[in-house]
Structure 1
């Protein structure tokens, strides 16, 4: 009886002991690849911010069984179930403080594979260089370069862990820049189908923007709280910009955008009620001796000092996590933190000029612009409401709310198409794609190309004649549709293709696609 009680006590205590020993287990079994500080090494960073949508149960399975098509081995033969659970809990525990990742670490991480001056002038293939798609497959962390005319892959290469924030192109469409959650920025040459350079600009990165003249990249980080400017030619670091407001309060970067007519980057912040604009033109220079008036009584906005880039700080009455710009880039629409409204900030006069009735957490980054009666209007899906809102961009009034089968994430249109395509992947009808007639503002077709499977992210080809849809499953697919008849044209198997980005539409800032 006594021995049985001792055994039972040990069994009950095992999970607690394993949890207490998680740092040692990590050091012994994980640190060689993922870094002793969990910030990543040859393997990705293991922080809750970097793990994306991975759930703890899925993490436990990866620890036990490994991950196919990666260097991640299984540990079920070395660790008990309690130890595996303890490790999963450990990597989902936030760090005690914001990690340091400054100029020294950034510069040391850079890998230059090819001298940019030695790259050939012509592609090694014969496809239309402006009708290529960069397809991000997160199922096995690969990227496919797709010929949009023949619907055939030109190349497929392994990416960094968990690419995030979409693909961005150089102004001529030759190079594509990719950002991973782990902070790695990759420059890939579409002409020769090879990685030119890589650099780790942060520990957890939100996205990257490319200046319209092709000279600079600006990287927005969640960890640490910085923006990082890079030379687009070879990814050499130029400047680390601390993201700090009044009294030293720092902020994660929600997103960074390019505003071509303004020759500037515009930055959305998560933890400070400000919008930042960073001019990059050579003649930008200091602005008003370091301050710009906000036109709000009693407020003056600071300019970050030191280095090539200076940030003009514009106060806002709420936190704005997401942006959408009018066609002039003079006004930015931002989604408020409470998810009930949008705010319009005029970047010229540096203040809020309107509020928009937008309940249900609008996903403004996926909005589109189109013409109605000669006026610019925008449409946006909502993350928490089964509706698409249509907004007049002169009066900022809601023209119509179009009911859908569920909340959606992505919306796409094209200048040569009278239709917009939306998903409703945030609701129970996750397998549906709905098509809106932009004239009548009514839904004219509902497609279910893969019943029961998550289907989302429409993207037009350069002509607007075809639309590509993703089946976002491990054994998923990319489906090509005729944009006029809505008939399926072709289907290509892929590993959870979460996004695809057309060169022509992106570099020409199509009003029907995200920027």
Structure 2
């Protein structure tokens, strides 16, 4: 069967403000526009932007143009993108079309919220669903000889592509375009065959790693945080910032099953910070932005489908599988004294660790009994989502970087006491390791030493090596191969690279040029929930 080429943004019209869509942020000092200015800006948008982004600013061929979905361009950067465009995208330069006053006005207008909260209902979701290749037409075996469980999905944010990398030879097998502002965290089906990708603009894409082609896509919201895959491979759960909903999908072809409003007790609703899979619990865990609650949604009591999975028996089982009855997916609300951000779980998914909104500590929640059992000293905004676990002197520990402080905190996961604080050259973003290596790798993402990466001996909790792979450029996000013998590191730059290191000697093995490779995700480590990587 011929390969389907996925081209989500092809257009003969100018893709005005394409990059603005995902990367602008509202500034507190932006003055409200007068009615005349608002009308002028609205006319500019209608002339230059609506063809790609729709008149309602909710996105079309181009992404949504809303403050909630525009997160990174600060200050004059938004104006600069409108003026100069962006390389390797369809965003053109408008400095010859609009004058400075018009550009400034349009930029300010794009930062204004809509008069009404955007909606994206089940009818919208269903209408957006496209299946490019029917699952029963996919091959049973991979089209390549590489180990399918040692592949890496590399997210290249510089030009919005994914590279599928052979983890044995470190050679690319495929490179394909994605939706803009793709969330870094790729998620896999339990057998490792399919990878699911979510964009901030609400699109979810399903890609087959055996035949190297896109299978399906769907838009689940206007601004989406991430997706999670059930441990049995049946379901995909997406969490939205806009609208305030969760969306449950059939993982076989992304067909929508259910939209769940995230509503509180008194008519208020909440944005979703993140969705996680808790395999031993057969449930999804939901982090909420606006309520002091954690939600757990179980799929354990739903009927088992006739069709057992994607990899085998397509022809025999596909028709029967489509008739599976879904439900009921009960919501369990765990009420807390304080809101939590950025979750971390122990390996058994009995304990949830979250950073408290007060910025001074963390909280440990026992999910079995549904309440807080301990506080942890975690000031400095810990990035728990990229923490790791390992055994230290016979006890399980959690190691997490901090987004504001130059340190790594090591926490005893039995007493919940801080064992050690490891001083670093600056605040970090990612900590990574593997069961088969005695070392943990930590970046120094923020500050003047952003090009440094520390290597910590897990046996002594001491820094034994500091690398500077590309002076002056951000070095971040290490991910190990299946065996733990190689560590892959990203240079976060449009002229960046993935660098392969020997995990024992720390010597560079290979350097692969890439366009801002913000994340790399090994199939085996992800589907086995390795203690050295994020889940």
Task: Note whether the superposition's TM-score is higher than 0.5.
Answer: yes
1:362-401 map, 5 Å: 362-401=382-421
Which of 52, 65, 72 is residue 91 of structure 2 equivalent to? 72
Question: d(CA) in 1 for partners of 2:368 and 2:34?
Answer: 58
User: How many residues get paired?
Assistant: 482
Q: CA deviation at 1:331?
A: 1.0
Which of 150, 159, 163 is residue 182 of structure 2 equivalent to? 163
Which of 232, 235, 239 is residue 254 of structure 2 equivalent to? 235
Question: d(CA) in 2 for partners of 1:367 and 1:507?
Answer: 17
Per-residue deviation, residues 300-350 of structure 1 (Å, max 9, x unmatched): xxxxxx963221001011111111111211110011112211101111111
Q: Which entry has the higher C-alpha Rg, 1 or 2?
A: 1
Question: d(CA) in 1 for partners of 2:512 and 2:152?
Answer: 13
Give the 3-state SS of the residue equivalent to 1:248 in structure 2: coil
Alignment partner, residue 173 of structure 2? 154
Segments of 5+ residues of structure 1 without an aligned counterpart are 1-13, 286-305
Give the 3-state SS of the residue equivalent to 1:246 in structure 2: coil
1:84-99 map, 5 Å: 84-99=103-118
Give the 3-state SS of the residue equivalent to 2:473 in structure 1: coil
The Cα RMSD (Å) is 1.7
Question: d(CA) in 2 for partners of 1:496 and 1:407?
Answer: 20
Alignment partner, residue 55 of structure 1? 74
Q: CA deviation at 1:20?
A: 5.0
TM-score, length basis structure 1: 0.91
Question: d(CA) in 1 for partners of 2:116 and 2:519?
Answer: 33
Verify: 1:434 aligned to 2:424, yes or no: no
Question: d(CA) in 2 for partners of 1:112 and 1:93?
Answer: 35
Question: d(CA) in 2 for partners of 1:17 and 1:153?
Answer: 53
Per-residue deviation, residues 270-293 of structure 1 (Å, max 9, x unmatched): 1000000000113599xxxxxxxx
- 8 Å contact 1:239–1:308 — kept in the other structure? no
- 8 Å contact 1:38–1:47 — kept in the other structure? yes
Displacement over 6 Å in runs of 4+: 14-17
Give the 3-state SS of the residue equivalent to 2:415 in structure 1: coil
Alignment partner, residue 267 of structure 1? 286
Alignment partner, residue 172 of structure 1? 191
Segments of 5+ residues of structure 2 without an aligned counterpart are 1-32, 305-325
Which of 221, 230, 234 is residue 202 of structure 1 equivalent to? 221
Question: d(CA) in 1 for partners of 2:55 and 2:336?
Answer: 40
Q: CA deviation at 1:95?
A: 2.6
- 8 Å contact 1:205–1:219 — kept in the other structure? yes
Q: CA deviation at 1:97?
A: 3.1
Alignment partner, residue 344 of structure 1? 364
- 8 Å contact 1:366–1:380 — kept in the other structure? yes
- 8 Å contact 1:18–1:83 — kept in the other structure? no
- 8 Å contact 1:15–1:86 — kept in the other structure? no
Which of 332, 335, 340 is residue 315 of structure 1 equivalent to? 335
Per-residue deviation, residues 65-107 of structure 1 (Å, max 9, x unmatched): 3333333333222211111111111222223332110100001
Question: d(CA) in 1 for partners of 2:179 and 2:475?
Answer: 24
Give the 3-state SS of the residue equivalent to 2:136 in structure 1: helix
Per-residue deviation, residues 236-282 of structure 1 (Å, max 9, x unmatched): 10000000111121111011100000000001111000000000113
Give the 3-state SS of the residue equivalent to 1:28 in structure 2: helix
1:4-83 map, 5 Å: 21-83=40-102
